[in-house]
Amino acid sequence: MPALENSLYFDHAAAAPLADGVAERMHAVLTEIDANPSSTHPAGRAAAAIIDESAAVLAELIGAEPSELVWTSGATEASNLALKGVAEFAGRDAHIVSCVTEHPATRDVLNQLARRGVRVTWLDVDSDGCLDWVALDAALDEQPTLLSLMHVNNETGVVHDIAKVGQRCLAAGVALHVDAAQSAARLPLDVAADGIALMSLSAHKMGGPKGIGALYVRRRPRQGLSAQIHGGGQQGGRRSGTLATHQIAGFGAAAALAGRSLAIQPTLARLRERLWSHIATVGGVSRNGASSMIAAPFLNISVSGVHGGALLSGLTEGSPTLAVSSGAACSAARGQSSYVLRAMGVPARLASASIRFSIGAGQDEAQIDAAAQRFVDEVWRLRRLAGPLEAW
């Protein structure tokens, strides 16, 4: 990502910079391949071949077959298709189990399905954001239609043990949907080994372009799924609409570099700990989630003695600009503190004064140190304005 003047970018979980060669690949396809990939003439077949190539690369990354991928506009649409498609296919007996800390792309869909009569069971988490395994087993004993679970939480970076969950789902005969938007190219994925029936993916979280994602749909044993977009019969009728060849090519180019991303995760973890060691010196800050359970790029902290909105505004509008997200980003439009942190037992005031740092390729110790200093300076500035820390 070209650096904005006087800006430090620490929001890779929201959108990772385009990986090397992705823009060039997309430009070449966009300017050289004009045909519709559904057309049967040579130009159309050339476009289709590019899509097939990208599918092969992405499928290899997650241990799937290319024919098991459905291209979507992103992970949000992929999760909508998975949840609504499974519920519609199951009919009036549909029962979906999920977790209270899921992304809104899951939570909001399930709340809508519940209003339509679908039975939804929510699993709680502990103070580290981890699943209650006893409650999970009890829910699986009821033979639900589907268990839907994030691999890596988008706010805290807490990692659910998907391999362990998958084995329990296999033993119970329950289909598993995994939201892997934040884990693809950060953690190893193997849909076959982990017993995953459906998986949502997003290109722009892993160095690809925005506006393209995919849903893995298991073929053997076949996973029932009702289409949610109709009109042209593309992709075997699972999701109609003309495919954006250049977007898919960009996704494939990013997926081809996933091995490089996986290799730098230990380095990112060390940078994250360096960032935390500097930030912790300010005092009155707490880390959300146990570090041993958090994916390498994530650091979510809550700050005492400051107003959450003022802190985010001061960081993102000050100088230098620090591009970070509020832990309450997905709830901010509703005027609520982070439901993820509140589910972990974080008090509302601290949940509303939380900041997520997410780091990625290309960042180094100098940037970490500069971001930490910018953060510490802003916290002290706001505390001086707010009064003694004891008042909070």
Report the candidate in 164, 146, 148, 139 with the shortest Cα–Cα distance to residue 99.
148
DSSP assignment of 180-209 = -TTTTTTS---TTTTT-SEEEEEGGGTTS-
Burial 223-241 (b: 16+ CB within 10 A, else e): bebebbbeeeebbeebbeb
Residues 217, 98, single domain; the answer is yes
Residues 113, 189, single domain; the answer is yes
Residues 155, 294, single domain; the answer is no
> Which domain range does residue 276 map to?
7-17+263-391
* Domain contains 357: yes
Residues 11, 29, single domain; the answer is no
Residues 72, 209, single domain; the answer is yes
Task: Name residue 357's amino acid.
Answer: F
* 376 close to 333: Cβ distance less than 8 angstroms: no
Which CATH number characterizes residue 58's domain? 3.40.640.10
Residues 311, 224, single domain; the answer is no
Q: Which residues of the chain have pLDDT under 70?
A: 1-5, 327-335, 388-392
Q: Residue 88: what pLDDT? A: 98
Burial 345-358 (b: 16+ CB within 10 A, else e): ebeeebbbbbbbbb
Residues 306, 201, single domain; the answer is no
Asked which of 228, 256, 284 is the last residue of a domain, the reply is: 256
Tens of pLDDT along 232-243? 999 999 999 999
Asked which of 206, 228, 256 is the last residue of a domain, the reply is: 256
Q: Residue 278: what pLDDT? A: 97
**Residue in the block written with tokens 């190893």:** 188
SS3 content of the chain, % helix, strand, coil (to 5): 45, 15, 40
Q: How far apart are CA 116 and CA 6, in angstroms?
A: 49
Residues 232, 325, single domain; the answer is no
Which CATH number characterizes residue 275's domain? 3.90.1150.10
* Domain contains 2: no
| Number of domains composing the chain | 2
* 147 close to 98: Cβ distance less than 8 angstroms: yes
Residues 241, 283, single domain; the answer is no
Could you tell me whether strands 213-217 and 198-202 are parallel, antiparallel, or unpaired per DSSP bridges?
antiparallel
Residues 164, 31, single domain; the answer is yes
* Domain contains 1: no
Side-chain-facing half-sphere of 31: CA atoms under 13 Å: 6
Residues 244, 337, single domain; the answer is no
CA dist 355 → 257, 301, 308, 324, 383 (Å): 29, 6, 8, 7, 16
Structure tokens at 359: 């780091």
Tens of pLDDT along 309-368? 999 999 999 889 999 998 644 454 555 789 999 999 999 999 999 999 999 999 999 999
2: left (phi over 0), alpha (psi -120 to 50) or beta: beta
The residues assigned a catalytic role are: 330
φ, ψ for residue 134, nearest 5 deg? -65, -45
Residues 218, 347, single domain; the answer is no
Q: Residue 318: what pLDDT? A: 80
